[in-house]
């Protein structure tokens, strides 16, 4: 289905009425354009639709200026401080937050929704174009969940991945990990420098340097996968790196990337979320992102949907003291 920004904006302005995203009959209120860009199935129930819409709209809103982001989230009932049952009450909250009158708050909401619709349509079209440009792909990642523990003696990355076969007889997965600005740059990265453990889902049969800082991994599957079948794998990576960011740069499409990062104490002076940036820009502080605040355990949690192959998604941080301890950066294959 081809979606226009005008149609999508119109549906979002209808959705903001009443309880917004918390509407009791959301399946009936979510229009075809909104369902198309968020990828909700036709028979999905209210809870599933509410989760998908909330995740997609929250993610896209982060690319808007701060005032418009707040306006959109408040209008749709997605802002944690504006969960009011009536739209007018959410408008009033936004007016107080912006220190403006209600009329100005409504204008910000309208402008924010129009911009949000443009971002959503552009993002969806780019995903479709990227998928069409890869007619020979044999598999893609439906779900990638990563936990990065930086408070360990040697940083550890736990990866849980569900892949979907897009062709028959898939026997091997090609994965990769990039050690950006590592201490091993220009040298072969040995097995002792980067330890890879398979917890379940296959057996490592190949490991080769694809560049001076990227290690290619070949994972042999227990049995051939047929088209549309799913398979789950679990891996652990351990290495000492020295660049303060962790990003996924997919070579195959990724539907969902869920990332938890646990920082050592003291927590970083700054943590930002990076979305659809060039890999070389991930370490450039000029490439700004959405500001994140670690919780009381020193952790941040971010999610990304419909990742475009070749671009970086993840987090970057700035240590409160000069870098002296090993930090991690990474790349999904």
Do 46 and 107 reside in the same domain of the chain?
yes
At 282-323, the pLDDT tens digits run 777 766 778 899 999 999 999 998 888 878 889 999 877 444
Centre a 10 Å sphere on the Cβ of residue 85 and count the other Cβ atoms it contains.
11
Centre a 10 Å sphere on the Cβ of residue 287 and count the other Cβ atoms it contains.
15
Do 226 and 156 reside in the same domain of the chain?
yes
Residues 6 or more apart in contact with residue 318 via CB below 8 angstroms: 244, 268, 269, 270, 271, 285
Find the domain containing 79 and state its range.
5-132
Higher-pLDDT residue of 114 and 323 is 114
Do 189 and 310 reside in the same domain of the chain?
yes
Q: Is residue 332 part of a domain?
A: no
User: What's CA 263's distance to the chain center, in Å?
Assistant: 19
Q: Taking the C-alpha atoms of 108, 70, 7 and 44 in order, what is their torsion angle to the nearest 10 degrees? A: -160
Do 127 and 28 reside in the same domain of the chain?
yes
Q: Are 76 and 29 in contact (CB under 8 A)?
A: no
At 100-111, the pLDDT tens digits run 999 999 999 999
Nearest to 290 by CA among 65, 78, 51, 116: 65
pTM score of the predicted model: 0.59
Residues 6 or more apart in contact with residue 222 via CB below 8 angstroms: 201, 202
Do 40 and 93 reside in the same domain of the chain?
yes
At 127-147, the pLDDT tens digits run 544 444 454 478 999 999 999
Do 149 and 62 reside in the same domain of the chain?
no
Q: Which residue has the tokens 């990003």?
A: 247
At 172-220, the pLDDT tens digits run 998 877 665 444 444 445 556 778 999 999 999 887 766 555 678 899 9
Tell which of 132, 155, 180 closes a domain. Answer: 132
Q: Kindly write down the DSSP assignment for every residue of 71-113, as one continuous string.
A: HHHHHHT-STT---SSHHHHHHHHHHHHTS-HHHHHHHHHHHH
Do 120 and 194 reside in the same domain of the chain?
no
Tell which of 82, 100, 132 closes a domain. Answer: 132
* pLDDT score at 332: 52
Helix (H) or strand (E) holding 205: strand 203-209
Tell which of 104, 132, 160 closes a domain. Answer: 132
Do 276 and 163 reside in the same domain of the chain?
yes
Task: Determine the 3-state secondary structure of 314 from DSSP.
Answer: strand
Do 234 and 308 reside in the same domain of the chain?
yes
Give the CATH number, domain containing residue 201: 2.60.40
């Amino acid at each position: 289905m081809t979606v226009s920004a005008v149609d999508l904006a119109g549906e979002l302005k209808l959705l903001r009425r009443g309880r917004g995203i918390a509407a009791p009959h959301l399946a009936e209120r979510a229009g075809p354009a909104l369902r198309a860009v968020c990828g909700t199935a036709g028979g999905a129930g209210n809870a599933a639709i509410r989760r998908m819409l909330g995740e997609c709209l929250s993610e896209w809103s982060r690319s808007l200026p701060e005032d418009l982001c707040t306006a959109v989230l408040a209008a749709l009932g997605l802002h944690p401080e504006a969960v009011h049952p009536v739209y007018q009450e959410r408008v009033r909250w936004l007016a107080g937050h912006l220190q403006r009158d209600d009329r100005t708050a409504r204008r910000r909401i309208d402008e924010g929704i129009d911009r949000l619709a443009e971002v959503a349509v552009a993002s969806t079209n780019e995903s479709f174009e990227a998928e069409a440009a890869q007619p020979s792909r044999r598999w893609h990642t439906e779900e990638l969940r990563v936990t990065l523990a930086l408070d360990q003696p040697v940083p550890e990355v736990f990866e849980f991945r569900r892949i979907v076969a897009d062709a028959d007889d898939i026997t091997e997965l090609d994965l990769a990990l990039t050690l950006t600005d590592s201490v091993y740059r220009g040298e072969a990265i040995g097995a002792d420098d980067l330890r890879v453990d398979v917890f379940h889902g296959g057996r490592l049969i190949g490991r080769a340097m694809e560049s001076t800082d990227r290690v290619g991994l070949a994972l042999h599957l227990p049995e051939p996968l047929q088209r549309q079948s799913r398979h789950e794998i679990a891996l652990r990576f351990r290495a000492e790196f020295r660049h303060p960011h962790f990003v996924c740069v997919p070579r195959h499409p990724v539907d969902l990337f869920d990332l938890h990062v646990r920082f050592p104490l003291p927590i970083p002076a700054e943590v930002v979320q990076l979305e659809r940036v060039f890999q070389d820009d991930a370490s450039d502080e000029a490439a700004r992102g959405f500001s994140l605040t670690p919780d009381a355990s020193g952790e941040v949690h971010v999610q990304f949907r419909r990742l475009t192959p070749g671009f970086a998604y993840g987090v970057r941080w700035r240590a409160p003291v000069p870098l002296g301890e090993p930090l991690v950066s990474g790349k999904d294959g």
